[in-house]
Amino acid sequence: MLSTEFLSAKLEDAKVHFERALDCKHTEFDDLYPYMIEHPQFFWYKRYVAWSELLTIVKLCDELEQEWKSHFTERQADYIAKRVMSSRVLDEWYETETNDSKEHVG
Protein backbone atom coordinates (compact mmCIF):
# COMPACT_ATOMS: atom_id res chain seq x y z
CA MET A 1 0.00 0.00 0.00
CA LEU A 2 1.25 3.47 -0.85
CA SER A 3 1.82 5.77 2.09
CA THR A 4 -0.02 9.04 2.55
CA GLU A 5 3.31 10.89 2.59
CA PHE A 6 4.40 9.28 -0.68
CA LEU A 7 1.18 10.22 -2.49
CA SER A 8 1.24 13.71 -1.04
CA ALA A 9 4.81 14.20 -2.27
CA LYS A 10 3.93 12.89 -5.75
CA LEU A 11 0.91 15.17 -5.88
CA GLU A 12 3.01 18.18 -4.93
CA ASP A 13 5.64 17.21 -7.54
CA ALA A 14 2.94 16.98 -10.23
CA LYS A 15 1.52 20.36 -9.20
CA VAL A 16 4.96 22.00 -9.38
CA HIS A 17 5.61 20.33 -12.75
CA PHE A 18 2.33 21.67 -14.15
CA GLU A 19 2.96 25.16 -12.78
CA ARG A 20 6.49 25.22 -14.19
CA ALA A 21 5.11 24.16 -17.58
CA LEU A 22 2.40 26.80 -17.29
CA ASP A 23 5.07 29.44 -16.61
CA CYS A 24 7.21 28.17 -19.53
CA LYS A 25 10.00 27.22 -17.10
CA HIS A 26 12.37 24.30 -17.47
CA THR A 27 11.00 20.82 -16.68
CA GLU A 28 12.19 17.25 -17.23
CA PHE A 29 10.20 17.31 -20.46
CA ASP A 30 12.69 19.81 -21.92
CA ASP A 31 15.51 17.33 -21.30
CA LEU A 32 13.60 14.45 -22.86
CA TYR A 33 12.68 16.33 -26.04
CA PRO A 34 15.23 19.14 -26.56
CA TYR A 35 14.50 19.29 -30.31
CA MET A 36 10.87 20.18 -29.59
CA ILE A 37 11.77 23.64 -28.27
CA GLU A 38 12.06 24.78 -31.89
CA HIS A 39 8.42 23.94 -32.61
CA PRO A 40 5.63 26.45 -31.84
CA GLN A 41 3.32 23.79 -30.38
CA PHE A 42 5.96 22.70 -27.86
CA PHE A 43 4.72 24.72 -24.90
CA TRP A 44 1.13 23.64 -25.41
CA TYR A 45 2.19 20.00 -25.59
CA LYS A 46 4.46 20.39 -22.54
CA ARG A 47 1.51 21.80 -20.56
CA TYR A 48 -0.72 18.98 -21.74
CA VAL A 49 1.79 16.36 -20.56
CA ALA A 50 2.12 18.05 -17.14
CA TRP A 51 -1.69 18.36 -16.83
CA SER A 52 -2.08 14.66 -17.67
CA GLU A 53 0.48 13.76 -15.00
CA LEU A 54 -1.39 15.87 -12.43
CA LEU A 55 -4.72 14.24 -13.33
CA THR A 56 -3.17 10.77 -13.08
CA ILE A 57 -1.88 11.42 -9.56
CA VAL A 58 -5.25 12.89 -8.52
CA LYS A 59 -7.00 9.82 -9.92
CA LEU A 60 -4.72 7.58 -7.86
CA CYS A 61 -5.47 9.67 -4.78
CA ASP A 62 -9.20 9.28 -5.40
CA GLU A 63 -8.91 5.53 -5.91
CA LEU A 64 -6.86 5.16 -2.73
CA GLU A 65 -9.15 7.53 -0.81
CA GLN A 66 -6.30 9.99 -0.29
CA GLU A 67 -7.32 13.63 0.20
CA TRP A 68 -5.83 15.86 -2.51
CA LYS A 69 -7.92 19.05 -2.65
CA SER A 70 -6.07 20.74 0.23
CA HIS A 71 -3.03 21.10 -2.07
CA PHE A 72 -4.97 23.47 -4.31
CA THR A 73 -7.19 26.52 -4.17
CA GLU A 74 -10.91 25.85 -4.45
CA ARG A 75 -10.88 27.06 -8.06
CA GLN A 76 -7.87 24.89 -8.98
CA ALA A 77 -9.52 21.82 -7.40
CA ASP A 78 -12.64 22.56 -9.45
CA TYR A 79 -10.59 22.72 -12.67
CA ILE A 80 -8.93 19.41 -11.79
CA ALA A 81 -12.27 17.76 -10.98
CA LYS A 82 -13.56 18.83 -14.42
CA ARG A 83 -10.40 17.25 -15.92
CA VAL A 84 -10.37 19.46 -19.04
CA MET A 85 -7.42 21.76 -19.55
CA SER A 86 -8.90 24.79 -21.25
CA SER A 87 -7.63 28.27 -21.94
CA ARG A 88 -9.52 29.31 -18.79
CA VAL A 89 -7.43 26.91 -16.70
CA LEU A 90 -4.26 28.30 -18.25
CA ASP A 91 -5.35 31.93 -17.79
CA GLU A 92 -6.85 31.66 -14.31
CA TRP A 93 -4.81 28.94 -12.57
CA TYR A 94 -3.05 31.41 -10.27
CA GLU A 95 -6.00 33.71 -9.58
CA THR A 96 -7.25 33.45 -6.03
CA GLU A 97 -10.77 33.95 -4.78
CA THR A 98 -9.87 37.55 -3.94
CA ASN A 99 -8.04 38.21 -7.24
CA ASP A 100 -4.69 38.58 -5.47
CA SER A 101 -1.53 38.83 -7.54
CA LYS A 102 -0.14 35.81 -9.33
CA GLU A 103 2.07 33.36 -7.46
CA HIS A 104 4.95 31.84 -9.37
CA VAL A 105 6.88 28.66 -8.91
CA GLY A 106 10.55 29.33 -8.17
Dihedral, 17, 82, 7, 32 alpha carbons, nearest 10? -30
pTM over 0.75: yes
Give yes or no for a contact between 9 and 2, defined as CB atoms under 8 angstroms apart. Answer: no
Q: What is the pLDDT of residues 50-90, one digit of tens each?
A: 999 999 999 999 999 999 999 999 999 999 999 999 989 99
pLDDT mean over 24-45: 85
Dist CA 9 CA 15 (whole Å): 10
Top mean pLDDT of 22-26, 32-36, 76-80 is at 76-80
